[in-house]
Amino acid sequence: MKKIKFAIIGSGTIGGGVVDLFVSNIDIVKKKTGINFELSLVVDLDDSKLEKPKNYGIKVSKNYKDAIKSDVDIIVELVGGIDFAWNLYNEAILNGKHFVTANKALIADRIYQMFKLARENKKYIGFEASVAGGIPIIKTIKESLLANKIECIEGIINGTTNYILTKMHKEKISFKEALLTAQKLGFAEADPTLDINGTDAASKIAILAAISSNQNIGLKDVYVEGINDIEFIDIKEAEDLGYVIKLIAMFKIDENNNIEIRVNPTLVSLSNPLANINNEYNAVLVAGDFVGKTMYYGRGAGARPTASAVFSDIIDIGNKIAFNKEYNPNLLFIDEENKVKSHEEIYSKYYLRLITEDKVGILAKIAKVMGDNNISISSLIQRDIYKKDGVVPLVFTTHIALEKDFFKAIELIKGFNFVKEIVYYRIID
Amino acid sequence: MKKIKFAIIGSGTIGGGVVDLFVSNIDIVKKKTGINFELSLVVDLDDSKLEKPKNYGIKVSKNYKDAIKSDVDIIVELVGGIDFAWNLYNEAILNGKHFVTANKALIADRIYQMFKLARENKKYIGFEASVAGGIPIIKTIKESLLANKIECIEGIINGTTNYILTKMHKEKISFKEALLTAQKLGFAEADPTLDINGTDAASKIAILAAISSNQNIGLKDVYVEGINDIEFIDIKEAEDLGYVIKLIAMFKIDENNNIEIRVNPTLVSLSNPLANINNEYNAVLVAGDFVGKTMYYGRGAGARPTASAVFSDIIDIGNKIAFNKEYNPNLLFIDEENKVKSHEEIYSKYYLRLITEDKVGILAKIAKVMGDNNISISSLIQRDIYKKDGVVPLVFTTHIALEKDFFKAIELIKGFNFVKEIVYYRIID
């Protein structure tokens, strides 16, 4: 039987999951692949984290160089962060190792350089676990949908924020209360900043965009807004209009390969399957020119689902090493440039909620500013029952408009002294 | 550039879709794979169906032997039916060709023999398009989730019946009316028998079960019920109880590898993501021991989505031919036996609607029969507003029960002369 050896660097939550999977299911894997996968070494700086692999009789070390210098075929990086991981990647590839990682920050920072180094050294890299946990979205885009032009991706790819928004919506509670519950139940970390402000989702959509378009897209290219400021009133107004607010990561490419990429709290129409994705679940809607709309759903985090994704990479690479006669650079190419548009160049429908003084003529003035800036109003709701202290909410939805025009209108509306508050979100059907 | 040649046998709807995809996207495919895929020949008995490929300058023939005798690497079978396809498969493999098919009837009839012949002759077969159209469910189960024990699959894998049930539910119309609409819009064929009676879904779940369990499972092993007899009253009662009726194809495997496989109209809890899959869309919920619950959603039929799936097989096999140094029998094994249980041995929750005379003591008699047969009642609804002509509907839901016990209770209840009608469905959460 062919043998493939791998080492794990980083024995935290995910590393522990991969060790569990190895111990529990390696016989299934051997039977199905005909390859004897061997977990040769687990590395961590922290002795306590090496207890589990040690108890299973797996060799451990505190020095990652032991893995680099060993005869393993694949290095599995589960440390996180960019600097150490980038250094490890270079050492691994230059020392003849293939590389598997769950590190979205690393990939979303330097996918072009990573692919280039791998190709030059005829090595494979796998990063299925970097996006959406156990959902096999990377392989689906790279392989199953390869014959399609991927035209659009809309994803709920951050479990923490989806959990919080679901709680706010279903239990009619504030952002703060929902965050506390999420933290109690382990769906949000003690410091949830990178989830809440959209950075985590932005890294992931950058990776999906890069492999869908073969352009060099990274976190820095994504226009990002978080969910920090979402108020319950907007969740309620959205519901009345037939929408639910989700943190949507979006990628779109036009016929000239110009790209729109963004993460925003977004009103999602109830007819969109993403509207039904609740709690900590993730889902990615992928539209290809032939396959049409497809969606992939599951747990986007957690030791066991992520271990499933890590292992699928180990198996894929193991298969290539064991059976290929030559290096297959398949899909390991990314153009150095990208054609990402400024967010002002994109078109969207918008939801706009104003709190204004309750006086005659105000609506006319606002409507004029919108008309003057090519913003066509689709619906308007003014509910006097919400009137309080002489102010009243006005809720608009618009037809498709250019974001630059919309922002210009917003600036002008802000200038009116009768306008007390402005909140806006994008809308997708 | 490496070159892989393929021929299409059968130039109908799907064949036409594959030709369209080839003409439209072959440059993307070449760029991403580094392989020059060439469509060398399209075969059909019907001259009129060869017009399209001819107009694109593709070689055509009326004789499939021309493909067998040619130097193509891959034969793509898009004819359908079992006898001709089986014969073609044997000729193709024995003449050194790899094989791609969208033919669910063929695979669900003889997967074991097909895998065996392919292995013996060191050939690859692809059948992604045989289940759920463009949704890459076969590759996901065979590759992405390989390291999991697949414990359960629940699928809506027949678009026609899902369209009909959605229409009945949303528009409050009868089965007959919904079927007519489906036929008008092209979501049901002129003869929809195999869709309506569950056979189509049964073939597909057999294929998913076989590749998930590596057991020799076929259409003949599936316990099948269709949607012919579904009445609007049960859709309404289900809705009131928090369920929606779907045609669910289910596979379950226990720790001793005993298998439950069935297709039934089923009450699906609104908390199950399948409850939101509407119209002609398909979705497959796959639970693995590590990945947890994942779901795959998209169009389960149509020329273009199916062409996307067919092409993914052509690319996968092309990659293996072009880069492998030796045959990789990966996953092409199925044990000759299976351990499929009789449907009487399975456990389920049930929905039971009786129409009974409206007399004192009836409920006690029915409840006693259920209790005597280990059927524990979870809820009971009797609505006098539905009382008419001296009869009244009684709607029960049960806790988990053995199907054998449930059927015994049903037989006894049928024996009561005050019972005028019995309808039952299974329930999943």
Could you please state the CATH topology (level 3) that the domain comprising B347-428 is classified under. Alpha-Beta Plaits (3.30.70)
**Nearest C-alpha in A relative to B332:** A32
Was domain B2-136+303-323 assigned CATH 1.20.1090.10?
no
Residue A104 in contact with residue A309, Cβ under 8 Å? no
B1, B146, B320: best to mutate for the A interface, most A CBs within 10 A: B146
Residue B320 in contact with residue B312, Cβ under 8 Å? no
**Nearest C-alpha in B relative to A26:** B147
| Contact between chains at A147 and B276 (C-beta distance less than 8 A) | no
pLDDT of residue A333: 82
| Contact between chains at B297 and A299 (C-beta distance less than 8 A) | no
Q: Which tokens go with A312?
A: 């699928």
Q: So what's the architecture of A2-134+303-323 in CATH?
A: 3-Layer(aba) Sandwich (3.40)
Nearest to B25 among A29, A147, A316 (CB): A147
Q: Is A70 helix (H, G, I), strand (E, B) or coil?
A: coil
> Residue A124 pLDDT > 70, yes or no?
yes
Instruction: Tally Cβ neighbours within 10 Å of residue A295.
Output: 25
- Find residue B354's DSSP bridge partners: B394, B422
Query: How many degrees, rounded to 5, is the angle at CA A103 between CA A100 and CA A107?
Result: 90
Q: At what angle do helices B303-323 and B13-33 cross, to 10 degrees?
A: 40
Distance CA A317, CA A338 (A): 28
Distance CA B75, CA A193 (A): 53
Q: Which CATH number fits domain B137-298: 3.60.20.10, 3.40.630.30, 3.90.330.10, 3.30.360.10?
A: 3.30.360.10
Provide the shortest C-alpha distance from residue A304 to chain B (in Å).
5
- Find residue B252's DSSP bridge partners: B152, B260
> Residue B130 pLDDT > 70, yes or no?
yes
Closest C-alpha to A425, from A260, A234, A240: A234
**Nearest C-alpha in B relative to A150:** B28
Mean pLDDT on B114-119 = 96
Residues of B in contact with A296 (CB under 8 A): 294-297
Instruction: Tally Cβ neighbours within 10 Å of residue A155.
Output: 30
Mean pLDDT on B220-244 = 96
- Find residue A427's DSSP bridge partners: A267, A349
Distance CA B128, CA B137 (A): 7
Residue A18 in contact with residue A128, Cβ under 8 Å? no
Which listed residue (B204, B246, B252, B349) is catalytic?
B204
For the question of residue B5 being annotated catalytic, the response is: no
> Residue B293 pLDDT > 80, yes or no?
yes
Percentage of chain B lying above the pLDDT 70 cut: 99
| Contact between chains at B32 and A312 (C-beta distance less than 8 A) | no
Residues of B in contact with A119 (CB under 8 A): none
> Residue B241 pLDDT > 70, yes or no?
yes
pTM for the complete prediction?
Answer: 0.96
Distance CA A242, CA A385 (A): 20
pLDDT of residue A388: 76
Q: Which CATH number fits domain A147-299: 3.10.310.30, 3.30.360.10, 3.40.47.10, 2.40.160.20?
A: 3.30.360.10
Phi, psi of A282 (to 5 degrees): -110, 155
> Residue A102 pLDDT > 80, yes or no?
yes
Residues belonging to chain B? 429
Nearest to A308 among B134, B145, B273 (CB): B145
| Contact between chains at B149 and A25 (C-beta distance less than 8 A) | yes
Q: What are the helix (H) ranges across B324-393?
A: 362-372
> Residue B386 pLDDT > 90, yes or no?
no
Which residues fall within 8 angstroms of residue A55, CB to CB, at 6 or more apart? none
Provide the shortest C-alpha distance from residue A101 to chain B (in Å).
15
ipTM: 0.96
Nearest to B291 among A214, A289, A308 (CB): A308
- Find residue B265's DSSP bridge partners: B247
pLDDT tens-digit map of A371-428: 999 999 999 998 777 677 889 999 999 999 999 999 999 999 999 999 999 999 999 9
pLDDT tens-digit map of B369-384: 999 999 999 999 987 7
Q: What single-letter amino acid sits at A378?
A: S
Phi, psi of B424 (to 5 degrees): -140, 150
pLDDT tens-digit map of A145-155: 999 999 999 99
Provide the shortest C-alpha distance from residue A151 to chain B (in Å).
13
Give A123-173 as a DSSP string. --EE-GGGSSTTS-HHHIIIIITTTS-EEEEEEE--HHHHHHHHHHHHH--
Through-space distance between the first and last CA atoms of chain A, rounded to whole angstroms: 52
Closest C-alpha to A278, from B232, B18, B135, B275: B275
Instruction: Report how many Cβ contacts below 8 Å link chain A to chain B.
Output: 205
Residues of B in contact with A315 (CB under 8 A): 143, 146-147
| Contact between chains at B144 and A312 (C-beta distance less than 8 A) | yes
- Dihedral over Cα of A362, A368, A371, A373: its sign: negative
| Domain extent listing, chain B | 2-136+303-323, 137-298, 347-428
pLDDT tens-digit map of A204-258: 999 999 999 999 999 999 999 999 999 999 999 999 999 999 999 999 999 999 9
Give A24-37 as a DSSP string. HHHHHHHHHHSEEE
Instruction: Tally Cβ neighbours within 10 Å of residue A282.
Output: 27
Distance CA B180, CA B193 (A): 13
Residue A269's alpha-carbon distances to A138, B131, B345, in angstroms, are: 26, 29, 43
Mean pLDDT on A354-381 = 94
- Dihedral over Cα of B320, B326, B330, B334: its sign: positive
| Contact between chains at B146 and A29 (C-beta distance less than 8 A) | yes
pLDDT of residue A117: 96
pLDDT tens-digit map of A320-334: 999 887 888 766 789
pLDDT tens-digit map of B268-277: 999 999 999 9
Could you please state the CATH topology (level 3) that the domain comprising A343-428 is classified under. Alpha-Beta Plaits (3.30.70)
Residue B250 host element (H or E): strand B243-253
| Contact between chains at A136 and B149 (C-beta distance less than 8 A) | no
pLDDT of residue B303: 95
| Contact between chains at A295 and B291 (C-beta distance less than 8 A) | no
| Contact between chains at A315 and B143 (C-beta distance less than 8 A) | yes
B20, B308, B314, B326: best to mutate for the A interface, most A CBs within 10 A: B308
Mean pLDDT on B292-301 = 96
Provide the shortest C-alpha distance from residue A33 to chain B (in Å).
5
B6, B30, B144: best to mutate for the A interface, most A CBs within 10 A: B144
Distance CA A210, CA A251 (A): 10
DSSP3 helix / strand / coil % (chain A, rounded to 5): 45, 25, 30
Phi, psi of A290 (to 5 degrees): -100, -45
Report the phi/psi class of residue A214: left, alpha or beta, with left for phi > 0 and alpha for psi in -120 to 50: left
Distance CA A343, CA A224 (A): 10
| Contact between chains at A290 and B28 (C-beta distance less than 8 A) | no
pLDDT of residue B325: 75
> Residue B387 pLDDT > 80, yes or no?
no
Residue A292's alpha-carbon distances to A17, A348, A405, B17, B163, in angstroms, are: 35, 21, 31, 13, 17
pLDDT tens-digit map of B140-185: 999 999 999 999 999 999 999 999 999 999 999 999 999 999 999 9
pLDDT of residue B342: 95
Phi, psi of B333 (to 5 degrees): -130, 140
pLDDT of residue B9: 98
Nearest to B324 among A299, A309, A324 (CB): A324
| Contact between chains at B143 and A140 (C-beta distance less than 8 A) | no
Residues of B in contact with A322 (CB under 8 A): 328
pLDDT tens-digit map of B82-114: 999 999 999 999 999 999 999 999 999 999 999
| Contact between chains at B143 and A312 (C-beta distance less than 8 A) | yes
Provide the shortest C-alpha distance from residue B81 to chain A (in Å).
24
Q: How far is CA A145 from the centre of its chain?
A: 19
Nearest to B292 among A147, A294, A299 (CB): A299
| Contact between chains at B24 and A146 (C-beta distance less than 8 A) | no
Nearest to A315 among B17, B136, B146 (CB): B146
Nearest to A292 among B277, B292, B299 (CB): B299
pLDDT of residue A331: 67
Q: How far is CA B342 from the centre of its chain?
A: 20
pLDDT tens-digit map of B398-407: 999 999 999 9
> Average pLDDT, whole number, for chain A?
95
Provide the shortest C-alpha distance from residue B402 to chain A (in Å).
30
Mean pLDDT on A301-308 = 96
Which listed residue (A97, A167, A204, A349) is catalytic?
A204
pLDDT of residue B331: 67
**Residue keyed to tokens 């959605």:** B166
Provide the shortest C-alpha distance from residue B298 to chain A (in Å).
4
Exposed e or buried b per residue across A341-366, where buried means at least 16 C-beta atoms within 10 angstroms of its C-beta = bebeebebbbbbbbbbeeeeebeeeb
pLDDT band per the 50, 70, 90 thresholds, residue A299: very high
Question: Hey, do B2-136+303-323 and B137-298 end up sharing a CATH topology, with the first three levels equal?
Answer: no
